[in-house]
Structure 1
Amino acid sequence: MSAASCLLTEDQFLCSICLDVFTDPVTIPCGHNFCKTCITQHWDKNVTCQCPNCKKIFNARPELQVNTFISEMAAQFRQSAQQKASSSSSSSSSEHRVSKPGEVPCDVCTGTKLKALKSCLVCLVSYCETHLEPHLTMAGLKRHQLIDPVENLEGRMCAKHDKPLELFCQTDQVCVCVLCTYADHKTHDVVPLKEEYEGKKAELGKTDAEIQQMIQERRLKIQEMKRSVELGMKDADREIAAGVQVFTALKESVERSQAELMDTIKEKQRKTEKQAEGFIKELEQEISELKKRSSEVEQLSQSEDHLHLLQSFPSLNTAPPTKDWTGVSVRPPSYDGTVVRAVAQLEETLSKQMKKLFEAELKRVQQYAVDLALDPNKVRPRPSQSNQGMDCRCVSSTKGFTSERFYFECQVKSWSVWTLGVAQKLSFWKTKGKLSPRNGYWTVCRMSQGGYFAPADPPVCLPLRSKPEKVGVFVDYDEGLVCFFDTDAATLIYSFTGCDFTATLYPFFSPCPNDDFTTHIAKLRCHIM
């Protein structure tokens, strides 16, 4: 038997369906051999009974009997193959293991599935190392294309021609088989799959480089944002500490003023009480003397001793010397103006502290100072605040702002009437509208009567203590904040908060009256930071 098996080729011991050594081999009427289970399952899946090799059709399903001769030969061949496999290098033992989830299993293994080592694009089957052996040793199977194990091998076959997808149509950007190039893709640009693979792989390399660059940019942006947050936290802590210090000082000033007020009132009350106590003591002493004299007079009037009464009468007939209390009184102390003076003194103290705060705040916002230039060619009528047609015109800076913070100053000392602030670009054409945030203007105005107001919604009168000679304007676009400062007095004139900026902001100026507007603009230009 052993000698006979040596005369047979290895192909004769393999089932053409499972491509493994025969298990219970059977011979069908056309003479071809298959594993009994393989041919039975094959016929169960098809309506007609057909030989997988020669395609011969049988009208009735043949009765299958195990071919004992081939079975014995296959068993001997299997034993020989197992001995050969067991003597192979131990370095390949890692490939002989059960497939894990996510790994491609061997399609031939029955029972426990081993990990597939390769997949065949011709057979559309994945093989473990043992079942891959025929593809590595048999001449007919060596020509098959093997790839690293993959799932869904059916998807690598042309659905129309049942051929491997070995080419790529650059015209339609699809994978095709050889027969497709003679039909639907006959005139198209078709290249080998490997060639297109190399090109696409190079493109993916560029794409990956771009993605990595984007990742790096975003990482840098994250670091930048984290640094901004850290700086913000430090600024917040510093601001909180400064605020706590200021409010603690203010609280101490209020408490100190309150204590001084209470001490002043109590001191006045103590003086009044002390004065009253002195008067009462004197009165009580006089009452005591008068009572004593009254007792002596009563005792003398009851005496029967004529001589004694006459001798004592001169000294007891008159009242003892006392003080004239008619004009003496104790008046409650007057507290008129006490609280007012205390509050005024507190206000003066707070004003000094507020001045220090505004000086510090002004220095802080002045670090955002920008250089501006006015554009005399963009002079427009200024929106009015009343129905009176004043000959007022306005001009904007050539530079606009759409984010962040900026600060500028303007000398207004020589103007009797003026308007200063910022305006949105879209608002420049609203010549018939009024100055207000609703129309895109955030300004402060000095009226001809000498008063000041902020054209808010509604307008706000500004009771300024002094006439500003230089006005500073600070804008925080992102926070929606516009602040006006009297830079010489280091005081806050007015603040617009919660502003909704939707367009470019331009510094906005209107010196009125405009009898010599060009001269005003020339002067104004010199004082813009």
Structure 2
Amino acid sequence: MDSAFVRCSPNRLICSICEDYFTDPVTIICGHSFCTPCLCLLWEDTQTSTCCPVCRAISQQMDFKSTIFAKKAVPTGESTIYQLPSSVKQICKTHQAMKSFFCPADKSLLCLLCCYSPGHVTHKHCSVKKAAEHYRENILMQMKSTWKNKQKNQRNLNKETKILKVWKVMGVFLCRHQLVQLYMPQPMDPQLSTWTISGMSERLNNFRVYITLEHKTNMCDSPLFEELRRLQCSQDTSHNPASLEFSSSWGAQIFTSGKHYWEMDMGHSCNWIIGLCKESWADRNNMLLNSEGIFLLLCVKVDDRFALFSTSPLRRQYIQRPQGWVGVFLDYEFGIVSFVNVASSSLICNFLSCSFSFPLKPFICYGPK
């Protein structure tokens, strides 16, 4: 039966790599079989995914189970893989006979007569075919073990490589995060510089008016300054300063047109307000800084820091607090209100492009020094 099968399908017993009968055949996932040594040598140094040499199908892992059918189908007679070449080296020079036996004691080939010679008669001998099969099986077992260990080491190496890549990515991320934190804008309290404007005082004096103050009132802990303190201490809601006495006054003049300039000595007061407001706001009991029609410059002290604010809308002015005289200039037709540091002849801030459709009154409020 075996010989009949060989005659009908000889190609099924041939390895497509070495083109010889199978030696320890192995079947991979796609169904093709090869010699185990041939496949190991082919896949040993491959850098890409292992694939079948016949159909190129990807094989992620190797099945080392021998194909029993292929082993049984190999001819039992003298096979090509075991047949020794007929050469001078295979002929015994002493007895001129074929060396068909192997002596494991001294690892040499012997003819039949040499086996009974005095030097080998006490040794155990075996046929060359049997010795070759024995050593072949040992070599194949070692190759399988080496291959499996190599595959295991490669998997461990791949795993460690992935972990190393993850750590490298995390390292780059942490480094970038630290750099971002390093270069992120830090909270600061900038102080902008002011410049002296030559001839400004002379030009403004052409529109000087003298303000008569009236409606003086005393307020305990003015709500105007409380609103500024909350804005200045937005990060410290527990701030609760002691109540202070403030003096507020409105000018007797009402401006509905023209250009007007007046000055007020704020002395060394730490908390003060100066500017213009519409008459309806001045008559209210709850004067709020977010109301319309008020053009004020405000100074407030919280702890040991001074801050300047302007209204319409309420915003911080990052310049040094003026001490002494502060000037106020109004150009009703062009919609301009300006505040001047008289001592340094410099501009503090401007209200530009305003549209005045209501009378404006001077307003001043200051607290203790």
TM-score, length-scaled by structure 1: 0.28
Larger helix fraction of residues: 1
Larger strand fraction of residues: 2
Q: Which has the larger radius of gyration?
A: 1
